[in-house]
A and B are shown apart, each in its own frame.
Chain A
Amino acid sequence: MTQNQTQTTQSNKIGNYLTFIVLVVMVLALAALFLAFETFIGGDIVTAGVLAGIGLISMSLSVFLLYQSRRATAAVKIDVPKVMTTVECQNKGCGNKIIREFQRGDYVFKDLETPCPKCGGKQMVTAIYKEVKEKEKTYAV
């Protein structure tokens, strides 16, 4: 058996243990909820509340664990950010600025062969940067 196969078998074993435990907790939670309902009908509201609380907490915990262990195969993608190139006209009187998508072969301070659409002057790449602003969580400290 290869190392990878061994690894998969072991991980399945662990997964099965966890699933078994979670399922037992789930059954107990259901029984607690059922009992809470019966106790409530019987008129003991306090005990019913305690049992319902235990049942709900156990149920949500087991659902969470089950969800956690089952999302392993979620698809993973490599994000390719949008990169922009700034092209500026070198004619000081014109100063035309174009921002377009990055093209292979662009680099900062590259003299472009295409003339400025406004004045026909020489154009140069002046900046290349990632456009997408990454959302950063801020913490009030």
Chain B
Amino acid sequence: MSFIPGSDSISQIISLGMYVFFIIFIFYGQRIQMYIMVREVENSLHKLRVIKDEGKKITIEAIKEIGKPTTDPTPRVERYLEYFTIGPQSMDPAGIVSKLDHILDTRDERLKEDVKLMAPQLIGNEVQINNLENTLEAAMALNYIYKVVRHFYIQGKKTLSLYVIMQLQMILPLVMKEAEAYASALKAFSYGQPIGDGVGPLIASKLMHGYEIRKVPKDCVAATVPFEGRTALVLKAEGPGGNVGKPGDAIETVIEENEGKIACLVMIDAGLKLEGEMVGEVAEGIGAAIGGPGVDQYKIEAKLTKYKIPNYAVIVKEDIGDAVSPMRKEINDAVDKAIDRVRDVVRERTKEGDKVIIVGVGNSIGVGQ
């Protein structure tokens, strides 16, 4: 009796082959699965490298075109792309917000100074300096994403660990989406086009346009606007350069100027949508609608708590890709809907003659006032 079934030699070879493969897959199935995953990660890493290199190229071209430097900015750009920021020590968290605030201010100043060194002809042109700084930051983000993915890819291959590679492969679609968004943002920043995140400042601009505008710390503007029988103090980051300002400081200043006599604060921002929700949907809620590292949110919440001022939020929904790429028509069309929602909030929550603060949170790139 033969162990290999089949009457002729060909079917015996096939049966033997099947046995061999069955045994190989029992012992090496996981490894083969890993090789397939490694291939997928490799493809994405290749795409990321192309996007990162293209990002660097666009940035250097933008600096050369706008800044007209006398020397080649490439080495300085390469140095800039490798910048890092060390967060404050959190073993004793007391006072950590002001430490983080100081670190972020130092970083911002340092990056701006570097842009001025790369493009000395732009000194005094804050709009273009801010736009170039934003372009460089997008290139920096792409560089960082590439390096992190490469790190885990090499680590996975070095250790031949299915689980390292598997984790990387599982989050890759999200990482790629973010990288593609930043790649799209590069052009928007270098051209000074409004981005999805700018919907807050765009709404604030619509409200304050035509009224006297004054600067408030830091990098923000304010206008006093009659609004539904109330007085609205409208705030936004100064545009049209790429700038998010420090809305925390601006709100603190305006509240103190009015000795805390504010009926409510309405914050308008771009909010991340969940899958299945429509881009440009407007929603309303409670709390400080502001992203970032949390410093501004902390300052706003502290000041509001001190004077017991209620805080309402209106958000325009979009995904991460929309937030950093040129503004979609749906988001632009949502501006009037969001203004109507702010009107409703102010009418329903305050009395005529009250003072309210309306803040458009986000990047003011491509949005004047």
Binding site for B on A (CB under 8 A): 3, 7, 10-11, 14-15, 17-18, 21, 24-25, 28, 31-32, 34-35, 38, 65, 68-69, 71-74, 76, 78-81, 83, 102, 104-110, 127-131, 133-134, 139, 141
- For B210, the closest partner residue in chain A by CB is A109
Among A21, A24, A109, residue most surrounded by chain B Cβ atoms (within 10 Å): A109
Q: 17 other contacts beyond A14-B35, A129-B327, with CB at 8 A cut-off?
A: A14-B39, A18-B32, A18-B39, A28-B17, A28-B18, A71-B43, A72-B42, A78-B51, A79-B184, A80-B187, A83-B191, A107-B368, A108-B202, A110-B368, A127-B332, A128-B194, A134-B328
- State the CA gap A57–B329 with chains docked (Å): 46
Enumerate chain A residues within 8 angstroms of B205, measured Cβ to Cβ. 108-109
- State the CA gap A17–B31 with chains docked (Å): 11
Given known contacts A15-B39, A109-B368, A130 and B329 CB-to-CB distance under 8 angstroms: yes
- State the CA gap A79–B184 with chains docked (Å): 7
- For A10, the closest partner residue in chain B by CB is B157
Q: Identify the 5 closest CB pairs spanning chains A and B, nearest first.
A: A107-B240, A109-B368, A76-B50, A129-B332, A130-B326
* Range class of the B interface residue count: 35 or more
- State the CA gap A34–B8 with chains docked (Å): 13
- State the CA gap A116–B194 with chains docked (Å): 24
Q: Are B329 and A129 in contact (CB under 8 A)?
A: yes
Q: Which of B36, B183, B331, B369 is close to A78, meaning CB atoms less than 8 Å apart?
A: B183
Given known contacts A76-B50, A108-B368, A83 and B193 CB-to-CB distance under 8 angstroms: yes
Q: Is B192 in the interface zone, CB < 8 Å from A?
A: yes
Contact count A vs B, C-beta below 8 Å:
120
- For A104, the closest partner residue in chain B by CB is B191
- Mask, B271-304, CB within 8 Å of A = 1, is 0000010000000000000000000000000000
Q: Interface on chain B toward A: helix, strand, loop, or mixed SS?
A: helix
Q: Is B209 in the interface zone, CB < 8 Å from A?
A: yes
Enumerate chain A residues within 8 angstroms of B51, measured Cβ to Cβ. 76, 78
Q: Interface on chain A toward B: helix, strand, loop, or mixed SS?
A: mixed
Given known contacts A10-B157, A31-B13, A72 and B276 CB-to-CB distance under 8 angstroms: no
Q: Is B38 in the interface zone, CB < 8 Å from A?
A: yes
Q: Is B154 in the interface zone, CB < 8 Å from A?
A: yes
7 A-B residue pairs with Cβ-Cβ distance under 8 Å, sorted by A, are A72-B43, A78-B51, A80-B184, A104-B192, A107-B240, A108-B205, A108-B367
Among A17, A81, A130, residue most surrounded by chain B Cβ atoms (within 10 Å): A130
Nearest-CB distance from A129 to chain B (Å)?
4
Q: Are B50 and A83 in contact (CB under 8 A)?
A: no
Given known contacts A18-B36, A139-B276, A130 and B240 CB-to-CB distance under 8 angstroms: no
